[in-house]
Structure 1
Amino acid sequence: MADQSGFEEFYTGSRHRLITYLYAMTGDRAEAQDAAQEAYVRAWQRWSTVSTYDNPEAWVRSVAHRLCLKHWRKAKNRVTAYLRHGTDPDVDPPSENTVALITALRQLPVAERQVITMHHLMDLPVAEVAAQTGIPVNTVKTRLSRGRRALAGFLDQDAFEEYANA
C-alpha cells in the first residue's frame, strides 16, 4: 500500500499551487478544483511509483493539465456540433389525449403497460412483443386484452379509439 503520510504531506504542500495554476489556466475555479482532485486521485492510486519521481508535483500538474484539455476538447466538440446542427426544433406541447393516455397507462400494471406500449405505440406484432419480453404469445394476447379493457375505463372513448386504431 502507498505511504499515506508521504502522500498527505505531498498533497498539503502542493495543492494550493496546483489549483492556482489550473485556475489561471482555465479561468474556472470549479473546473480547476475538479481537475486537481482527479489528478490527486490518480497520483494516490500510483503513489508507490509517483513518489519515486524526481518531481511528483510536475507529474500531477501534467495529469491535471491533460484533464483540462480533455474537458476543453469536449466543450469545443459540443459547440461545433451545435453550430453544425443547431438546436432541436421546438416541440409542441402534448395534446389532451396524449396526457390522458399517459395518465391512464400509469394506472395499468407494469406487465400490461409494457405489452400495450410495445404493440400499440411501437407497432410491434404480438409475436415480436412475445419474443422481446420472453413471454408466451397467448400471455401477450391476454395482457393486451386486459390492458385495453382497463384503458377503455380510464379514457374517454374518443381518446382510446385514436390510439387503439393508430
Structure 2
Amino acid sequence: MHEYADFDDFVARTRSATLARAVMYCGRRPDAEDAVQEAYLAAYLHWSELREPRAWVETTVRRRFAREAGRWWSRWRRTELEVPVSATSTPDEEAAAVAVLRSVGLLPPRQRQVLIMICLEGLTYRQVADEVGISVGAVGANLAKARERLAVLLGLAAEPHRAGDPLVAGVLTRSGPEGMSGYGEDALAAALRRTERWLARGFDADRASAQRLRAALDRQRDEHR
C-alpha cells in the first residue's frame, strides 16, 4: 500500500508539487488549478483502489495537458504569467524562475510536453513515445530542439553530445534509444528543477489555492454521501 494515512493526508502532502508540475506543463495558474482539482476529484472516487496515488494523479494531469496542448499554448502566449511567490523567495530566485517559465512558454506544445515528461517526470523515450503517439526518434528530435532553444533563451551553454547518443545533446542517465531516460543534472535540467521547486514553495504558502481545492473536494464528498 501507499504511504499516506488517508486521502486528506495525501492531498496535503502532494498538492503543492502537483500544482507546480501542472504550471510547468501549461504555464497558466487557472488551467493548472483546474487540471489538478479534476485529478484529485477523480482520485477521491477511486481512493480505495489506488496503490500509487501520487503517480496516478500526476499521470492524470499530464494526460489532460497532452490532449489539449495546443489550447494551453495559445492561452500562454496571450496571458500574463501569474503564480504565487513564497515570502522566502529572493528577487534573484524569482527572476530566474520567471525567466525559465517564460522561455518554456515559447516552445511549441509538443516540444514543451516532451521536455517536461523527460526532464521532470523522468520518463523514458519509449514511455513518452507510447503515451504521446510518436516515434522514439521524434521524441529525441523534439527534445533536442527544445533544449537548443532554451539554451539560447536562457544563456546556457549547450552540453556536448555524448558518444553513442545521436538524438540529443546533454548528459543522459542511460544510453540507447529504448532505455533513454531523463537528463542528469546538467545546467538546463537543473534550471527546470529549481523552477519547479520555486513554484512548489509558492503554492505551499498559498492558502487561497488550498482552500479552493478543499471546497471542491468537500462538495464532492457531500454529493457521494
Structure possessing the higher radius of gyration over alpha carbons: 1
Same topology, TM > 0.5: no
Report the TM-score when normalising by structure 2. 0.31
Answer 1 or 2: higher relative contact order, Cα 8 Å, separation at least 6: 2
